[in-house]
Every structure is written in structure tokens, then in C-alpha cells.
Amino acid sequence: MKAVTWFGTLVISEDGNAEKCCLVEKDPEMLAEHMLLAVGNEELPAHGLDLRELAIGCGFVELEEDYDVLLREVCIRAAKRQISMTDTDDKRIIQAVEAMDDIDKAANELSERLTEWYGIYFPELELTAEPMARFVARFGSRENVPEDHDMFVRASSSMGAELSLVDEDLLRNFAASLCGIYDARKRLERYIMNNMGAVAPNLTNIAGAPLGARLISLAGGLEKLAAFPSSTVQVIGASNALFKHLRSRAPSPKHGVIFNHPLIKGSPWWQRGKMARALASKISLAVRMDAYGGKLDPSIKEKLERKVESIRKAHPEPPKKQSTKVTQPGPGRAGGRPVKKRGGQKKGGMNKGSKNTVDRSGGRPA
Amino acid sequence: MSIEQLSDGIFEVVTDDRKILATHNLYPGHSVYGERLMDVDGVEYRQWDPHRSKLGAMVLKGFDIPIEYDSHVLYLGAASGTTVSHVSDILTDGLVYAVEFSPRTMRDLIKLCDQRPNIIPILADANKPRSYAHIVETVDVIFQDVAQPNQAEIAALNSKYFLEDNGHLMLSIKSRSIDTVASPKKIFKDEVKKLESDFGVEFEVLQRKELDPFHEDHLGLLARMFVEDEE
């Protein structure tokens, strides 16, 4: 039997000894390279071997300790190489999306602080968030507002307190940092806009760059997103609602983050569930093309548009509200009140075998 | 303070009012994840937090830990190396192969390996034991803590490849990874049954206990791989 091991290729006889061995040069760098290349090789051992014995048997190392020391060194080198190769385009997009979320949180908090703080000195200034930060960074004290500025009248008749030089300096500095954060956000946004087209052209074409980036980020990578069924894509970002649905009798969520797509947001409520399903299915197709090396295929978008048209045509009016049902006590259900039941066995173990956060059974037709 | 030994390399530091699980620090003066270091009669011990480690919880739940000073251990799902560091403490004359799939957590694990000579890091998918069959030798103990829906299958497959005859398998089963809504008791029953019969490897379950209050909805399992006589 021929077997590839980390230290060389061996031919092993029936009784488990090495008959022939073709050893790799005893250099950690070479061995690490060989170790990585061997993954996926047809001749990897089909069952575990006593590699240590074999290595000593064919004279690769003399002592057990040498084996340990060398193997450790080689494994660390190999793992370090693998780690340095994991920086892929979709990983960079994910970092950018998450950085943007962090920035939003931080900017919100800081701008609230600025509103409170600067309000002491110029309460009539009715700016918030970014315009406010820019204003404070530029002028500082309201006495510095020039005559031709919109705020001049308010500034000159303000009930605000006097602002000392030290405090003014502090506030301007604070506001300037906040402006820097807003600038960083814009740069990130531009980065996502410019790069999504290259990372996932079809996804960007269907969902748009910001939403596409968010889907990749929530899934944890382009390939992971491609592996999701489209019913999962439909409810990504609605995991709380989904689990509530699975555990109790709460209604299933119709859409997760894809709600932000104009197709769903811009449609009347009775069409949204149908739109969400159509959009999710096309997103799935698009992502799969992107993940497995496809080029931009405009036909996906055309098909989506046709589907959207047919939904709009088929359901132009809101459905009539059904008259309140007379409750008929069914099995296991008393008086029509939803019975909470942990476990949801009635659903017949829908969740079997699915990954932890999202569930393939989520997208029940709305 | 005094010391009680629970099993090879695993101790309890007894203070006036409580007992603290600990291992003998292989790399003195350094704490791995912010745990407390304790000096007892000139020997340094590292506190082992059972809330952060399934293996630690299993020790306190009364499992007979099969890991000895000179064992060779295959550790599946090493993560950042919180538990691996304690296994490394125990194995003064042994070796642990630490398999982890996520490059992010592998970064932390490699930092740990740089300090400790008895950890061998492997960045690979525990679902595919063949992808590291050219690295890992036959081992005495397999410890598995992976949060995957096919935990039993992974354990059986790896045992088939790497566990020596009559070697021990220690398994932590997380019911939430298998089915988020079904009852944990039922899942545990199913998984144990699967492990015992579904994959062509026979196990004799020696001990099984839930790991609460340290870990919710987790089952700890100690099994011995059963090798039938060929005659």
C-alpha cells in the first residue's frame, strides 16, 4: 500500500512496515510545503497509521523526541502559511461592513454627547448629527458665526452661556474628531460600492452593493451565502422572529435584511411576502454564480423583473379581510388562544440537520 | 492552601472556603486567557474555569479522565486553546494534536503553540480526517468539542482513523447545534445511539452526564472504542 505522509511517500507492506520510502528533505520549510500540498492527494492514508514508528523505521528521525520537535515546527509553519492565505476579497468586504456598523454606533453616541454639551452654549442651533459636528468644528463659539451665515441672527440673540476659550478649544476638537468619523464612514461606503462589483457582480446587480455586502457579512462569506437555501436568504437578519416562529406559534418572518431592497420596501404589504420569496431565490442564484466563478449574467435580473411584474398583476388589490373565524376547538388547542409549546413537535422536526443560526424551513409562504 | 490530586495532572487547590480546579502551569509566570495563577509550596498552578471548558466541567462532574502524563491526545475543535492549554499542562510527557477549522481562532492557538512545546496545531476540517491522516499518528485519547450538527459522525469517523484499540473517546454534545427546538434529552439519546451503531465503529459508553450548571444543554460522554475479536 502506498501512503503519503508528512515526511515522505511510503510503500507499506502487509505487516505494517515501510518497504520503500521516498523522504522529503529534512528542512522545516520544505516539509511544511509538502504537508500542505499533500492535502487532497489521492494517496493520503485511508486509515490512521503509526507514523512515529514508520518515521523512525525508515531513518527519517532517530528518536521519538526528534519526531515531536520537528513535527511541531512543521505544523506551526504550515498553519501560519494557511492563515496568511485566508485574506480573500469577501473577507475584506465583511470587515468594511462591520466597521461601518461600529462607526454608526460610535458616531451616534458621540453626536448625542455633542448635542448635549454644545446645547449649553447655543441651544437655538437646531442642527443634529453631521451638520452639527461640522458647524461646531468650524466656528466653535457662536460669537464666531459671520454675519452672512444663516445662523447669525440666532447666534447673536442666543440664551446660551458664555463659552470660555479652554472649553471652546475642547469642543471644537471633539467635534473635529466626530467629523473624522463621518469621513471614515463615507470612505468605507465608497470602498464597498467600488469593490462589490468585482467580488460579486451578479449579487450586486440583483441586490445592490450595500445590501449584497450586508448579506455576505451576515452569512460569514460569499461561499457560505451561496450554500444557503434561498428560504434562508429570505430571512437572514430576522433570526429572533424565526426562532420565535419555530418555538411557538408566532407567524414566520417574511423577510430579513432583504427588506431594505426597494422591491420589498416599495411594495404594498400584501405583495411583500411574495416579492421577498422571488427576490431571495434570485439572490441565491446570483450568489452561486459569483461564488463559483461566473461572470455577470443579466438574465437573472430580467427573470426577476418578469416575476415581479406577474406578482403585481396577479395581486393588484389587497386581499379582503377574512371574517373572524368561529373558533372550533381543535386537537390540543383550547379556545383559540395560541398555545405556546416548547419544542414545536407539530412541525415535524423541521430543523433537523440545519446549521445553527438560520433555518431552511423558515420561509413559509406568506 | 493545600493541594489534592484528582487524576494525572489535574488538581484541586483547597483554600479555607472553597476548592479551585487547577493544573500545574507548564509555562510558569504566564496566564493564557486571564485565569488566576496560584503558588502552592513553590509550584505554580493555573486555575481551570469549568464554565469556560467542557473538559473542566467533566472533571468536576466526576468523569474518570483517561488523559495521563504521557498520553497522545487528538483534540478536535481546539478553538483559541483555552482548554488545550490545560491539556498541555497535564501532558508533561505527552502530545496533543489540536485540530481547528477557523483561521481566526487558529491565530490565537498558534500564539499558544509558540509557548508550549507539546501542542501541534492543525488547521483542518474535523469532518475530513483524511485531510490530516498524513500528520496525526494513532492516539490514546480523542477529545471532541465541535459545535456541529453531525457531532456523532465526526467522533466516530475520527476514532476509526486515529484511535488505538480500546482507546478512549471524550465527547461534548451540544444539543443546540443539532436541533434548536427539540428537547435536549431526546437529542442526547439519539446521538448516543447513533454513535454506538451507525458508523461501523463500536463504542462502549462508560459515563454520560449532562454538564449543567457549567454548560447548558450539553452532554458529556466518555466511551471506549470496542474492538471485536476477529476469531
- Give tens-digit pLDDT for A305-332: 888 888 888 888 888 876 655 544 444 4
Q: Which residue has the higher pLDDT, B70 or A235?
A: B70
Q: Which residue has the higher pLDDT, A13 or B69?
A: B69
- Cβ–Cβ gap B179/A4 under 8 Å: no
Percent of chain A with pLDDT over 90: 18
Short-list A89, A289, A99, CA closest to A198: A89
Looking at every residue in chain B, the average pLDDT score rounds to 91
pLDDT score of A323: 61
Contacts of B137 in chain A (CB under 8 A): 48-52
The pLDDT confidence band at residue B59, using thresholds 50, 70 and 90, is: very high
- Bridge partners (DSSP) of residue B122 are B99
Question: Cα B225 from chain centroid?
Answer: 16
pLDDT score of A129: 87
pLDDT digits (tens, 9 = 90+) for B90-99: 999 999 999 9
Residues from A in contact with B at Cβ < 8 Å:
3-6, 35, 38-40, 44-52, 68-69, 71-72, 75-76, 78-80, 82-83, 86, 243, 246-247, 342-345, 347, 349, 351-356, 359
Question: Cα A30 from chain centroid?
Answer: 37
Q: Is the pLDDT of residue A60 over 60?
A: yes
pLDDT digits (tens, 9 = 90+) for B166-200: 899 999 999 989 988 889 999 999 999 888 888 88
Q: Is the pLDDT of residue A350 over 60?
A: no
List the grid coordinates of A120. 449649553
Q: How far apart are CA A347 and CA B50, in angstroms?
A: 36
Of A44, A76, A359, the CB nearest to B133: A44
Q: How far apart are CA B199 and CA B187, in angstroms?
A: 17
Q: Which residue has the higher pLDDT, A18 or B135?
A: B135
Highest mean pLDDT among A208-217, A233-242, A347-356, B21-30: B21-30
Residues from B in contact with A at Cβ < 8 Å:
95, 103, 106-107, 110, 113-114, 117-124, 130-138, 147, 149-150, 160-163, 176-177, 179-183
Q: How far apart are CA B227 and CA B231, in angstroms?
A: 12
Which amino acid belongs to residue B144? Q
Question: Which of A22, A72, A85 is best to mutate for the B interface (most B CBs within 10 A)?
Answer: A72
Contacts of A18 in chain B (CB under 8 A): none
Q: How far apart are CA B182 and CA A351, in angstroms?
A: 9
Q: Which residue has the higher pLDDT, A162 or B224?
A: B224
- Cβ–Cβ gap A76/B160 under 8 Å: no
Q: How many CB atoms lie within 10 A of CB A186?
A: 10
Of A35, A46, A351, the CB nearest to B180: A351
Q: How far apart are CA A357 and CA A314, in angstroms?
A: 34
Residue A166 vs residues A118, A173, A299: alpha-carbon distances, Å: 14, 11, 63
Q: Is the pLDDT of residue A273 over 60?
A: yes
Measured in angstroms, the CA of B165 and the nearest CA of chain A are apart by 12
- Cβ–Cβ gap A4/B134 under 8 Å: yes
pLDDT score of A279: 87
- Cβ–Cβ gap A71/B160 under 8 Å: no
Pair A236, A357: CB distance under 8 Å:
no
Q: How far apart are CA A128 and CA A131, in angstroms?
A: 6
Q: How many CB atoms lie within 10 A of CB B17?
A: 5
Among A263-267, A329-333, B218-222, the minimum mean pLDDT is found in A329-333
Contacts of B130 in chain A (CB under 8 A): 44-46
Q: Is the pLDDT of residue A26 over 90?
A: no
Q: What is the mean pLDDT of residues B85-106?
A: 93
Q: Is the pLDDT of residue A247 over 90?
A: no
Which strands form B10-14's sheet, in the order they lie side by side? B2-7, B10-14, B19-24, B43-47, B37-40
Contacts of A44 in chain B (CB under 8 A): 130-131, 133-134
Question: Which of B80, B135, B185 is best to mutate for the A interface (most A CBs within 10 A)?
Answer: B135
- pTM of structure: 0.76
Q: Which residue has the higher pLDDT, B73 or A242?
A: B73
Contacts of B127 in chain A (CB under 8 A): none
Q: Which residue has the higher pLDDT, A162 or A36?
A: A36
Measured in angstroms, the CA of A360 and the nearest CA of chain B are apart by 12
List the grid coordinates of A356. 445553527
Measured in angstroms, the CA of B15 and the nearest CA of chain A are apart by 38
Alpha carbon dihedral A48, A49, A55, A58, in 10-degree steps, equals -140
pLDDT digits (tens, 9 = 90+) for A83-112: 988 888 888 888 998 999 999 999 999 999
Measured in angstroms, the CA of B182 and the nearest CA of chain A are apart by 5
pLDDT score of B25: 93
Maximum CA pair distance of chain B?
57
ipTM: 0.91
Q: What is the mean pLDDT of residues B49-59?
A: 94
Cβ partners under 8 Å of residue B115, min gap 6 = B27, B30
pLDDT digits (tens, 9 = 90+) for A164-199: 888 888 999 999 999 999 999 999 999 998 888 888
Q: Which residue has the higher pLDDT, B130 or A15?
A: B130
pLDDT score of B228: 62
Of A39, A79, A344, the CB nearest to B181: A344
Looking at every residue in chain A, the average pLDDT score rounds to 81
Measured in angstroms, the CA of B62 and the nearest CA of chain A are apart by 30
Q: Is the pLDDT of residue B162 over 50?
A: yes
pLDDT score of A321: 73
At which residue does the C-alpha cell 412541525 appear?
A347
Q: What does the angle CA B156 – CA B76 – CA B98 come to, to the nearest 5 degrees?
A: 140
Highest mean pLDDT among A151-165, A207-221, B134-148: B134-148
